[in-house]
């Protein structure tokens, strides 16, 4: 178990486009495990490799049904719409309203090198879109419907 240091908004690395993973080496597997450990440590539902300073096209998601690792993902279908609040471990204690597709199909490779397809709706679809954006240097404030606000202010 290893927790990696998170990168936060303002770090130029978060704005770079990540590169395809050419081979799933033991180092990649270790990275994925560390990403999961880091995500769970901070109670996140998703984490992308650039958020731990690695510019590779990898993200992990757990919306409550167990971890799913996406290596070299492609989103092959986006349809419908959902509007709701969204946060990110790289912008701690902040949220904004973001409209995302309500249904996506995403193809990717797992840590064993096997290709798989997920058909995701609601929170899972939102998480895939959010994490995929990280791989292209996009953060949710870029695509939000309104301002980014402090979580604390919402409770007042
Ligand atoms: Ni994020």
Could you read off the pLDDT of 17-34 as tens digits, one per residue?
A: 999 999 999 999 999 999
154 pLDDT tier (thresholds 50, 70, 90): confident
CA of 41 to the centre of ligand 1 (A): 15
Residues in the chain: 156
Report the percentage of the chain scoring pLDDT > 70.
99
Token pair listed for 66: 């167990």
Residues bordering ligand 1, an ion, CB closer than 5 Å: 88
- Say how many Å lie between the CA of residue 91 and the centre of ligand 1: 8
Q: pLDDT tens for residues 85-94? A: 999 999 999 9
Alpha helices, H only, the chain: 26-41, 122-135, 140-143, 151-155
CA–CA gap between residue 142 and residue 129 (Å, rounded): 13
Query: Under CATH, which architecture does the 12-153 domain have?
Result: Alpha-Beta Complex (3.90)
> Residue 108: beta bridge partners?
116
What ranges do the domains of the chain cover? 12-153
Ligand 1 geometric centre to CA of 33 (Å): 18
112 CA → ligand 1 middle, Å: 25
Residue 1 has pLDDT above 80, yes or no: no
Q: From the candidates 20, 30, 107, 131, which is the catalytic residue? A: 131
Per-residue pLDDT of 123-133, as tens digits, reads 999 999 999 99
- Tell me the pLDDT tens digit for each residue of 46-73: 999 999 999 999 999 999 999 999 999 9
Q: How far is the CA of 57 from the centre of ligand 1 (A)?
A: 14
pLDDT of residue 152: 86
Is residue 156's pLDDT more than 90?
Answer: no
Q: Is 122 a catalytic residue?
A: no
Give 57's DSSP letter: S
Cα of 24 from ligand 1 centre, angstroms: 23
């Amino acid at each position: 178990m290893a927790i990696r240091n998170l990168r936060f908004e303002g770090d130029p690395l978060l704005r770079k486009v990540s590169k395809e993973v050419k081979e799933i080496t033991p180092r990649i597997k270790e990275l994925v495990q560390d990403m999961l450990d880091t995500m769970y440590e901070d109670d996140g539902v998703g984490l992308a490799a650039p958020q731990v300073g690695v510019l590779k096209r990898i993200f992990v998601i757990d919306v409550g049904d167990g971890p799913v690792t996406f290596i070299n993902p492609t989103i092959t279908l986006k349809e419908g719409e959902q509007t709701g609040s969204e946060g990110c471990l790289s912008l701690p204690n902040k949220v904004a309203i973001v409209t995302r597709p309500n249904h996506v199909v995403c193809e990717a490779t797992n840590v064993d090198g096997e290709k798989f397809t997920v058909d995701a709706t609601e929170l899972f679809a939102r998480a895939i879109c959010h994490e995929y954006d990280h791989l292209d240097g996009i953060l949710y404030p870029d695509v939000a419907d309104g301002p980014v606000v402090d979580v604390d202010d919402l409770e007042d």
